[in-house]
Chain A
Amino acid sequence: MSNARQPRSYTLRVWRQPSSTTEGKLVEYAVSDIDPDSSFLEMLDHLNENLVKKNEEPIAFDSDCREGICGTCGVCIDGRPHGPIPHVTTCALRMRDFADRSTIVVEPFRAKSFPVVKDLVVDRSAFDRIIEAGGYVSVNAGSAPEANMIPIGKDIAESAMDSAVCIGCGACVASCPNASASLFVGAKMRQMVLLPQGAVERKHRALAMVERMDREGFGDCSNHGECEAACPKAISIENIATLRREYMKAIFR
């Protein structure tokens, strides 16, 4: 750890694509003077400042909260959504986890249902449309009963929370060989069926969300399990089992 604090340099190969309708390619950039404690996105900020100063166009990438909760950021780093460290988002990666003088390939999340907008920015609005189909409890403001009216076991609530932590980043889709959204959809379904408030609409929800998922062009799940490995919130593949069970029940009931 003696030179752990020394500034580092890297060769980046970054996907540049001016718009959704133009072709893209990998472009090489050298970055130096990187503080190992800085984050991966701060490293990209640093590169962008230098590009602007050279009158070149900065690399477009999405990010917002930069603390792993909003789900806005997300790129493939050396082929892995959110990079080499398990269970963190791209914004939480630190440069101390990348060896000095290494080459890093940075690409957008790739999936048919996530078209590239520009450079590393993709359009994930298909996720919103899946939730639109039924990923909620139909309750109007003002009509709710007293909050403690229905007790919910602590273990049930905790288990629902394990699914509810999904940040909608899309890493599960980007990592899946079929570009399936099953983990994303399964997590919302499982949160809802575990809770008595959500269980009421389970049949409609299962049919509507699965139908919308198919219509948006996401592939089927074939049990590769890459999604669970790529998920920054460590959402379990068990959620996909819930999805299947709910869907089968809805069809045959």
Chain B
Amino acid sequence: MASMPQTIPNGDGLHSGAPGGPIETRWDRHRFEMKLVNPANKRKYTVIVVGTGLAGGAAAATLGELGYNVLNFCIQDSPRRAHSVAAQGGINAAKNYPNDGDSVWRLFYDTVKGGDFRARESNVYRLAQLSVNIIDQCVAQGVPFAREYGGLLATRSFGGTQVSRTFYARGQTGQQLLLGAYGSLMRQLETGRVKMFARREMLDLVVVDGHAKGIICRNLVTGELERHAADAVVLATGGYSTAYFLSTNAVNSNATAVWRCHKRGAYFANPCFMQIHPTCIPLQGSAQSKLTLMSESLRNDGRIWVPAKKGDPRPPDQIPEAERDYFLERRYPSFGNLVPRDVASRAAKHACDEGYGVGTGQAVYLDFADAIQRLGQNVIAERYGNLFDMYREITDEDPYKLPMRIYPAPHYTMGGLWVDYNLQSTIPGLHVLGEANFSDHGANRLGASALMQGLADGYFVIPYTLGNYLAGTRPGTVRSDAPEFGEAEQKVRGVIDHLLGCRGKKTPREFHWELGRLLWDECGMSRSPEGLTQTIDKIRALRAEFWENVHVAGSGQELNQHLEYAGRVADYFELGELIAIDAQQRNESCGCHLRVDHQTPEGEPIRDDENYAYVAAWEHTGDVSKPRLHREKLEFENVHLTVRTYK
């Protein structure tokens, strides 16, 4: 197997290790070339899986089914609560059931284009191929997808596509898919092949002789630090939007696991690729700590508009049709309200910045009046009932009668730990799945593609590629009494002791809020070189203050949610700086990354393929302010690089 592609940092360059040749057969050929672990030997290998969302839960279950000895960790009290549960709208798959022209090739093309040509072709093609298997798998698990009267599966449309390929279970698709994976995981617990460790937070990766061999985690109930050794580590801990303080992510979603792996040698790719989702419920009160998403699926039937007159004081139902600006339909007639998220968010921000915003000025309308008139309230309730209920609970307004008010908010991170075609990071043995890696969405993710990627990685990619890694290692070579475990545990303990001993004047939440404002203002929907330079300085100053002036209550030997939070905020400061540094080095606009110095007079982004068609993968050098940049050049052999337009 000397011909196996290797992932070796090569000078300034990084290579994906993806096979060459026709893209349609790359994954098949690669699967044949990979090494296998004999069925009788699988139980001798122990694999740590961190996270129980769609990627982690699916991976842990599937690796258990194959016969590996799996240790699965989650931060929540139950694996069923991972944040994938909150995904609303749906999951894409190239089934072409509606006979509307879909294909694996089209899903591949839409995803590469949707990501503004900053994703890796080989990975995306594989994702599109596997999408069809995912739907089969989930149906077999008893996921109650929406169906047509004939009993076959229903689909709907999402942004950035002109076909209907999104499968859904009301507005709770993530929940239903997660419960499917959770069921499979629970079945493996019953067989004893998977052991579950709930209420554990991974605080460090243990690397022995250059290979990932274990983790240090904190038992969140007892406060005890635990060492867990394994033959490989699979990380599926989600994204890092919570660095922005206000985001749609769960309050316990955080960046600590990925960030600490980064500091152990895993490169961090495209950290500035942060998706700002166009349809969230606007900020209401000063006490608010998170924002609520309204699914993109609503843009199937909802129309986005603002009053044509600046500062129009009239309530929406008294503004006649002729005095409304349906700005997405006007600016992007062929995709209309279903433009991709980055485009919709920018357009909404533009309208508000120009003074056309409604409510507090930081909102636009999402109006269902036409759809209700056309289809009837029952049909709208059947499609989106739980979303409408949620909107009413939060705002005290009835969206069947008044248009929703929405505004963009941080939602998903396309960036993440760099992985090769096998989903292995730059640390051998550390594999990264789902939102925690960077691999498939380029500079902008299309709606309903996160669920697809998480499940593809967990059910259908890692079971093969992890076997290939393990087949080249001897099982059980490292035990948790190895000195590297002791060193990592000491380091973790040092951070905890410092946080508890600091006894400063400001709470972690106050620091987090300030950091979030800095990132949102200068590293959100538009970014300028000057603003980024200033932001980096401000983040450094605030970080220095944090370590001297943070106040953390309680002790380390108990359930202490305040301490957990403080540790996460400490990591957001370091990651926040890298986000800004990455945004600063990318002298172009692409996808979510709009640099004000690279746009057309109409505010459309200008990409620079000559110089920036690469993945920016950052190496930790020991000084968080001096990361080293490695570039993985992106090759486009199958998709022609064009100006991305939805007009």
Identify which of residues 286-311 in chain B touch chain A, using a CB-to-CB cut-off of 8 Å: 286-290, 292-293
A136 close to B86 (CB less than 8 A): no
Partner-binding segment picked from A98-106, A154-162, A221-229: A154-162
Q: Using known A-B contacts A68-B390, A137-B183, determine if residue A123 contacts B77 with beta carbons closer than 8 Å.
A: yes
B144 close to A139 (CB less than 8 A): no
B198 close to A125 (CB less than 8 A): yes
Q: Using known A-B contacts A38-B288, A136-B141, A148-B153, determine if residue A161 contacts B169 with beta carbons closer than 8 Å.
A: yes
Return the contact of A152 from the options B97, B151, B396, B507 (Cβ within 8 A): B151
A63 close to B551 (CB less than 8 A): no
A133 close to B172 (CB less than 8 A): no
B183 to A, closest residue via Cβ = A136
B179 close to A151 (CB less than 8 A): no
- Return chain A residues, CB-CB under 8 Å to B293: 67
The answer to the question of B123 belonging to the interface, with a C-beta cut-off of 8 Å to chain A, is: no
In the assembly, what is the distance between CA of A62 and CA of B393, in Å?
20
B393 close to A88 (CB less than 8 A): yes
Partner-binding segment picked from A44-52, A76-84, A171-179, A237-245: A44-52
Q: Using known A-B contacts A38-B284, A70-B86, A92-B393, determine if residue A164 contacts B153 with beta carbons closer than 8 Å.
A: no
Identify which of residues 23-63 in chain A touch chain B, using a CB-to-CB cut-off of 8 Å: 34-35, 37-38, 42-43, 45-46, 48-49, 51-53, 55-58, 60, 62-63
B77 close to A141 (CB less than 8 A): no
Return the contact of B79 from the options A64, A128, A141, A165 (Cβ within 8 A): A128
Size category of the A interface is 35 or more
Return the CB mask of A182-201 against B: 1 if under 8 Å, else 0.
00000000011001011000
B78 close to A151 (CB less than 8 A): no
Partner-binding segment picked from B131-139, B469-477, B486-494, B535-543: B131-139
Return the contact of B287 from the options A46, A58, A165, A191 (Cβ within 8 A): A46
Q: Using known A-B contacts A117-B221, A128-B186, A148-B97, determine if residue A142 contacts B147 with beta carbons closer than 8 Å.
A: no
Return the CB mask of B512-555 against A: 1 if under 8 Å, else 0.
00000000000000000000000000000000000000010110
Count of CB-CB pairs between chains A and B under 8 Å = 221
Partner-binding segment picked from B57-65, B265-273, B605-613: B57-65
The answer to the question of A127 belonging to the interface, with a C-beta cut-off of 8 Å to chain B, is: yes
B553 close to A55 (CB less than 8 A): yes
- Return chain B residues, CB-CB under 8 Å to A191: 142, 144
Identify which of residues 98-149 in chain A touch chain B, using a CB-to-CB cut-off of 8 Å: 117-118, 121, 123-125, 127-128, 131-133, 135-148
In the assembly, what is the distance between CA of A65 and CA of B139, in Å?
26
Q: How far is the CB of A207 from chain B (nearest CB, A)?
A: 14
Give the B interface residue count (CB, 8 A).
Answer: 79
Return the CB mask of B142-182 against A: 1 if under 8 Å, else 0.
10111111111100000000000000011010111001001
The answer to the question of B2 belonging to the interface, with a C-beta cut-off of 8 Å to chain A, is: no
The answer to the question of B322 belonging to the interface, with a C-beta cut-off of 8 Å to chain A, is: no
B80 close to A168 (CB less than 8 A): yes
Q: How far is the CB of A51 from chain B (nearest CB, A)?
A: 7
The answer to the question of B189 belonging to the interface, with a C-beta cut-off of 8 Å to chain A, is: yes
- Return chain B residues, CB-CB under 8 Å to A128: 78-80, 186, 189, 196, 198
In the assembly, what is the distance between CA of A136 and CA of B61, in Å?
12
Partner-binding segment picked from B337-345, B556-564, B585-593, B634-642: B556-564
- Return chain A residues, CB-CB under 8 Å to B175: 69, 165, 167
In the assembly, what is the distance between CA of A12 and CA of B169, in Å?
39
The answer to the question of B384 belonging to the interface, with a C-beta cut-off of 8 Å to chain A, is: no
A52 close to B183 (CB less than 8 A): no
**A residues adjacent to B (C-beta < 8 A):** 18-19, 34-35, 37-38, 42-43, 45-46, 48-49, 51-53, 55-58, 60, 62-72, 88, 92, 94, 96, 117-118, 121, 123-125, 127-128, 131-133, 135-148, 150-154, 157-158, 160-161, 164-165, 167-168, 191-192, 195, 197-198
**B residues adjacent to A (C-beta < 8 A):** 58, 61-62, 65, 76-81, 83, 85-86, 95, 97, 133, 135-142, 144-153, 169-170, 172, 174-176, 179, 182-184, 186-187, 189-190, 196, 198, 221, 250-252, 284-290, 292-293, 390, 393-394, 396, 459-460, 463, 507, 509, 551, 553-554, 558-559, 561-562
CB-defined A-B contacts under 8 Å, sample of 30: A35-B287, A38-B288, A42-B287, A48-B562, A64-B81, A64-B250, A66-B289, A66-B290, A66-B292, A69-B174, A70-B76, A70-B83, A70-B85, A71-B78, A71-B85, A92-B394, A118-B221, A131-B182, A136-B187, A137-B140, A141-B184, A142-B459, A144-B139, A147-B138, A148-B152, A151-B147, A151-B151, A154-B149, A160-B144, A167-B175
Apart from A35-B284, A158-B144, list 13 A-B contacts with CB within 8 A.
Answer: A19-B559, A58-B553, A70-B85, A72-B77, A128-B198, A135-B186, A142-B137, A144-B137, A144-B141, A147-B139, A152-B151, A168-B80, A195-B144
